[in-house]
Amino acid sequence: MPEFLDERLDDPVVLEASDHVLRPLAQAGARLRRDAADARAAIASLAGEPRPRAVIAVGPEARLLRAVLEPVCPVPFVAWPSLGLPGWVGPLDLVVVLGGGQAALTCAHEALRRGSRLLVTADEESDLARRSASRATTLLPVSTNDPLTAAIVALIALHEWGLGTPVSADAVAGAMDAVAVESGHAVDVSANPAKAVALELADAQPLIWGGSVLAARASRRIAEALRTASGRVTLAADASELLSILASTHPRDPFADPFEGATEERPVLMILDDGLGDAADEEQHEALAGNALVADVRVCTLSHAGGSAMERYATVLAKGRFAAAYLQIGLGREHR
């Protein structure tokens, strides 16, 4: 397993060679502004649309849409994970297709065959856009191929339809920009929170927990980023599962020689706090932190408690993804 080298995080040569890892993260806010602007006319056309019987979302961020809309949507909302659509979907329903791929094409084709209303996020020149075009289809033209951006544009459109709460693309993009500034490659490791988290995870197996629905969603996305960055086992799970792991983790041996034998990979508990959890989440938070202390497991927290739910989600997710990028750079895996 590659060794994590702290000095790589502030080495200008290494950071310049890692531009392809960091630049997409830094440009997330700009991508959102561009796609939201491109889709503005299509979104405005949805005002006054009749309310559907139900909404069915398919695609990479369908569950994110459900997490945001399920508590407020005036009609049933389903995030459908399978190829094809549920058997009950028909002309009274709205199908939201996020992104491309064969699954998206299949669902779009099936929605049109059944006479459903169709909302599609895709590049105007894509196969999905061409093959889903119809009088029943509204295309939200997104060109950046970013699933999170597509989901936010879809949320803005669904609010215009009267099916959700307002989402401000500028506010969410601003939140992403703020993380990019504080986590920029030129910011020294002593002042850069993403580099600090990467140091915490240098020789660890991360255990990630988010209490609220959106924080739990972010935990799974961050786990994916950390697995890709490090090639290590990374677990995002409910508190009950993580408590079992912490209970089986033995404290460090204070007399062990760190220069003798293989370096032990120990868990690090990463807690995501977006300030939207309830009393039960707070109890689980305290239980996890207390058990981590007993097991001598380090705890790092990614938090943001200001702004709308989507601003908080985007902020916590961006912090985790920047930390994963610096972990990848510290391990010398930036070209994988």
Q: For 75-99, write each residue's pLDDT tens digit.
A: 999 999 878 899 999 999 999 999 8
Handedness of CA 154, 160, 166, 169 (dihedral sign): positive
The mean of the pLDDT values for the chain is 93
- The closest alpha carbon to 270, from 307, 250, 245, belongs to 245
DSSP per-residue letters across 193-208: HHHHHHHHTTTEEEEE
Q: Is residue 155 part of a domain?
A: yes
Same domain, 137 and 205: no
User: By 3-state DSSP, what share of the chain in percent is helix, strand and coil, each rounded to 5?
Assistant: 50, 15, 40
Reported as type and span, the H/E element at residue 119 is strand 117-122
Going by C-beta distance under 8 Å and a sequence separation of 6 or more, which residues neighbour residue 101? none
CB 64 within 8 Å of CB 167: no
| Structure confidence at residue 251 as a pLDDT band (50, 70, 90) | confident
Judge whether 170 and 132 are in contact, CB under 8 Å: no
Tell me the two tokens of residue 270.
């990463």
Give the domain-ending residue among 117, 141, 170: 170
Same domain, 125 and 205: no
The pLDDT, as a whole number, for residue 81 is: 85
- pTM score, two decimals? 0.94
Number of domains in the chain: 2
Query: Is residue 263 over pLDDT 60?
Result: no
Residue 229: both structure tokens together: 């960055």
Q: Note whether 39 and 140 are same-domain residues.
A: yes
Tell whether 221 and 113 lie within a shared domain: no
- What count of other Cβ atoms lies within 10 Å of the Cβ of residue 203? 16
Residue 23 located in a structural domain: no
C-alpha span between 326 and 68 (Å, rounded): 29
Could you tell me if 14 and 79 lie in one domain?
A: no
pLDDT 10s digits, 275-324: 999 999 999 999 999 999 999 999 999 999 899 999 999 999 999 999 99
Residue-number span of the structural domain to which 202 is assigned? 6-18+185-256+264-330
> Is residue 25 one of the residues assigned to a domain?
no
Name beta bridge partners: 117: 94
Give the model's pLDDT for residue 250. Answer: 86
One domain, residues 160 and 44: yes
**Among 170, 204, 233, which residue terminates a domain?**
170
293: CATH? 3.40.50.10490
Residues 6+ apart with CB under 8 A from 177: 29
Instruction: Give the pLDDT mean for 195-203.
Output: 96
Q: What is the chain's alpha carbon radius of gyration, rounded to the nearest angstrom?
A: 22
**CA distance to 37, 128, 262, 329, per residue, from 137 (Å):** 19, 12, 59, 43
Q: Which residues pair with 236 in a beta bridge?
A: 208
